[in-house]
Amino acid sequence: MKTYNELHRPQFHFSARENWINDPNGLVYVDGVWHLFFQHNPEATIWGNMTWGHAVSHDLMHWRQLEHALLPDEHGTMFSGSAVVDHDNTAGFGAGSVLAFYTAAGDHVDPKRPYTQCLAYSNDGGSSWSKYDGNPIVESFEAGNRDPKVIWHPGSSHWIMALYLTANRYCLLRSKDARTWDRFQDLELEGVAECPDFFPLADESGSERWVFWGAKGIYRIGRFDGETFVPETDPLTCEHGTNGYAAQTWSNTPDGRCIQISWMAGGLYPEMPFNQQMSIPVELKLAGSGSKVRLTRWPVGEIETLRGKNIRLQTQQIRRGEPMVPATSASLLDVSFDVTNQNSKALHVVIRGQRLVLDWAASQIHFNASPVPKVTSDRPAIPLPGAKTLSLRLLIDKTSVEVFVNQGQMSASFCFLPDACINPLVLEAWDGEQTISHFHLHELTSVWEDSE
């Protein structure tokens, strides 16, 4: 059997050639190439022996896995981090060098050693890496402090590092040279831990706002002047579902795009040579302004290059016993439609035998896959607005479905194993009537077709 063609292998989501993966790391765009580093165990399909795996793409869809970038050393195993392009040679490794910031998990080498933050650099566009002789660049603040996310702040001419501390606590550090760092602000993000991200976006009024993000998709939006981050919203949630975790944005992206990818944590891949997968890359934007501003997530346009056969269906009413059944046998789908509820309690979207339930009565969408892998089970459902009409988009792969509501105002990742079915997609009304309109289905092609 060809690699990447196994029974439960995702066909348009990234997964490693073999063995365990988790958090995306070091996301950076360099000279036309998207780099995806990731937590990887090169020895087994379970977590452990963390290194930085490495894959590259020219289109965010077709990935080629390379040799490992960062291996464990005397400071510890290679935990999560980020990467940037040092255009102005602030760190002294050369203009255009790529800098990677990572956590060295010291207690995995010596139980008495703390977690510290370290630096590596590349002078060939991210193909090969050297670790900085002066590591660590940030000593331990608290046990388990980790996951440095670094971004350049032009207004203050400083590198800014967001770092996780413990519980729901984080801090910000700054540096002129990417090697010596000063801690200048502590932050809390209620209900979330690990994997911070910190990035600017323009709201609909054109004002620059800053997003502080935590691993569970909880974030706050505010202002940042290089000295202080001032939150202007309560904690908000954009990424829901049972499986989206540890999202990170790419740095140095072209055309001002803000592109993010998540680990789809906790999926099940029985007896496969690999374990776990990434989400589809999404583009982040801000909708609204002032205190009403919100983050939206939408699949990157590059996914349209995978589209093959398409099916459009006329507006129709569905009732109990009168489902909508598109004429497809494909397992890779990009589906969008609007649903208007007349008097029904729920819409069931049956995906390869598993039920995605739009529960009008409870004002939420949940996935009833069995067995249900729940890594982030405290936020499994998507809360729905009170409107009677909703717009949905579903990206369906071999072992996952990603849901986007109302042009990305809410989104969720769910992993599943398929159950017995006749049709891969069926829309059913639980009772009463619902109207399905603007139904458009695209069958997708595999990104692994030429892989061995």
Q: Which positions are catalytic?
A: 23
CA distances from 95 to 33, 70, 100, 101, 132 (A): 18, 22, 15, 17, 16
SS (H, E, C) 61-81: CCCEECCCCECCECCEEEEEE
Rg (CA), the chain: 22
- Tokens 């439609």, located at residue: 337
Cβ-in-10-Å burial (0-12, 13-18, 19+) of 391 comes to: middle
Q: Token digits for 208?
A: 């620059």
Query: Rounded to whole angstroms, how far apart are CA atoms 404 and 299?
Result: 9
CA distances from 80 to 160, 205, 233 (A): 17, 35, 27
Query: Rounded to whole angstroms, how far apart are CA atoms 417 and 438?
Result: 28
CB neighbours of 304 closer than 8 A, spacing ≥ 6?
none
Q: Token digits for 309?
A: 């056969």
3 state SS of 331: coil
